[in-house]
Amino acid sequence: MTMQTQAFNHQSKASKSPAAIAAKINTGKTLGIGMPDYLKLDHIANNLGLPVRTIYHLNKTGEGPKCLKVGRTYLVSREDYEQWLTQRKQD
């Protein structure tokens, strides 16, 4: 196997990994003005001024916003986060 073939095979496998897929989803970067399409739990924790473990605990108990797990990364859509905040304010 040539060096180029090895590099191609490595890139093909890496791009299919859950971490690579999560990296391709728009997290933490805005496409213009406003919030990103998806937020990581650490972004949510920073926004609310809470420890990240608290957000993970809320997710585990079902009290947090709806999450999408990609590999080891938990993602929350902007819409679900906003709905969750609105619901928490009403409670």
Q: With respect to residue 34, please indicate whether it lies within any of the assigned structural domains.
A: yes
The number of folded domains in the chain is 1
Determine the structural domain holding residue 68 and report its residue range.
17-90
Q: With respect to residue 84, please indicate whether it lies within any of the assigned structural domains.
A: yes
pLDDT in tens, the chain (91 residues): 554 444 445 444 445 666 666 555 655 554 455 556 899 999 999 999 999 999 999 999 999 999 999 899 999 999 999 999 999 888 7
Q: With respect to residue 1, please indicate whether it lies within any of the assigned structural domains.
A: no
CATH of the domain at 54: 1.10.1660
Around Cβ 67, how many Cβ atoms within 10 Å? 22
Q: How far is CA 56 from CA 17, 31, 39, 45, in A?
A: 23, 27, 13, 9
pTM for the whole structure: 0.60
